[in-house]
Amino acid sequence: MTAQNISNTSTDVEDSVKSIDTADLLVRLKQHIAYLSDTIGIRNIENQANYQKLDQAADYICNTLKEMGLTPSEHTYEANYNGENFIMRNIEVVMEGTDPTKEIILIGAHYDTVKYSPGADDNGSGVAALLEIARHMTKYQGENVSTLKLVFFPNEECDYSKDQDTQASFGPNMGSVDYATKAKKKNETIKMIALESIGYFSDEPGSQQFPIFPFLFKRILGFSDVANNIHFVSNWHSRSFLKDCSKACNRQGGPSFPIQNLYVPEWLVPDIGRSDHKSFWLQGYEAIMITDTASLRNPNYHKATDVSDTVNYETFTKLVQNLFDMTKNLVGILD
């Protein structure tokens, strides 16, 4: 065998290891969401029983990451709700980059739910995608130029995220508020992506609603009223990062997932700040939300019917494959 043949064989093996088995990915995504929403169910700090389920979800995330050979860190803090104290866990995986001067790319998802919902789409889908991004990125450890942080947050949902004294949104109970505040104190340079409800799609005309002025979105901005796409959303300050993320979200050797980009001032469309990315805006960071738009298309949003079999797994799996490429491209990995 010639040296050239040896080199080619090595490359072929490496490509095989890094390739994506779409069928296996779909099965794993479905298993994650089913466990979180159907087996565990409602998970929050409404009471001790729900808190135990939230803790069970945190254990599931940690154990799944460990099975991948990763070492998750648990950053704990104390939350108070209805006079009870709870120990909360921000769960983090860090993949150090080769260039420490580069900005950190942080991708996050919240693992809690509202009071009455098992949260398959909101936000079992975001957690499932983030777990599989972690799995996929283990194949590239040591190749990323920028440091990658993957973080699972509790207490994104109201009323648990509110300041218990003032009732203001984005209070100290919120996992992403705690994380972003501490990151700023450490002078970390971060660009953040929140995966927020990303598993519901429809091909029916009129299935996509808009937060304000449908004419503006459909006629002027060119948005579709068919819910078969994903939305990249940011404030005006983060628009450059949004464009970078959208451009990076292309499957190599496969079709690009349909994306709608929206970057506007928050005062114009307040709903653009309804997730963990705003915690990073409040600290001056650039951050975006990737979302299926939740209540603007999903009839199960914040309801008991947000169960695993309402997720559109084939479309969701295609999206996650695009998120793999987005992640690799943002941290400087070139195949």
| Beta strands 73-81 and 286-291, pairing class | unpaired
Structure tokens belonging to residue 314: 């084939």
Q: State what percent of residues in the chain have pLDDT above 90.
A: 87
Q: What type of residue sits at position 158?
A: C
pLDDT at 199: 98
Q: Is the pLDDT of residue 100 over 80?
A: yes
pLDDT per residue as tens digits for the range 302-316: 999 999 999 999 999
18, 21, 146, 179, 333 from 141: Cα distances, Å? 12, 19, 11, 24, 10
pLDDT confidence tier of residue 6, bands split at 50, 70 and 90: very low
| Beta strands 84-95 and 73-81, pairing class | antiparallel
d(CA 308, CA 119): 8
- Cis-peptide, bond into residue 159, ω within 30° of zero: yes
d(CA 232, CA 120): 20
Q: Is the pLDDT of residue 235 over 70?
A: yes
Closest to 106 (Cα-Cα) out of 240, 248, 285: 285
Q: Is the pLDDT of residue 68 over 60?
A: yes
Residue of higher predicted confidence among 162 and 10 = 162
Q: Is the pLDDT of residue 191 over 90?
A: yes
pLDDT confidence tier of residue 102, bands split at 50, 70 and 90: very high
d(CA 128, CA 152): 11
User: Average pLDDT, stretch 247-275?
Assistant: 88
pLDDT at 310: 98
Longest Cα separation, the chain: 73
Closest to 170 (Cα-Cα) out of 301, 54, 274: 274
pLDDT confidence tier of residue 104, bands split at 50, 70 and 90: very high
d(CA 203, CA 260): 15
User: Average pLDDT, stretch 39-43?
Assistant: 98
d(CA 105, CA 73): 17
Q: What type of residue sits at position 156?
A: E
Least confident range from 100-104, 201-205, 248-252: namely 248-252
**Which helix H or strand E contains 188, and what residues bound it?**
none
* Dihedral Cα 219, 203, 262, 134, nearest 10 deg: -170
pLDDT at 251: 63
**Which helix H or strand E contains 169, and what residues bound it?**
none
| Residue 120 CA from chain centroid, whole number | 13
pLDDT at 14: 60
pLDDT at 257: 94
Q: Is the pLDDT of residue 62 over 70?
A: yes
CA angle 119, 123, 125 (to 5 degrees): 105
Rounded mean pLDDT of the chain?
A: 94
197 phi-psi bin (left φ>0, alpha ψ -120 to 50, beta other) = left
User: Average pLDDT, stretch 123-145?
Assistant: 98
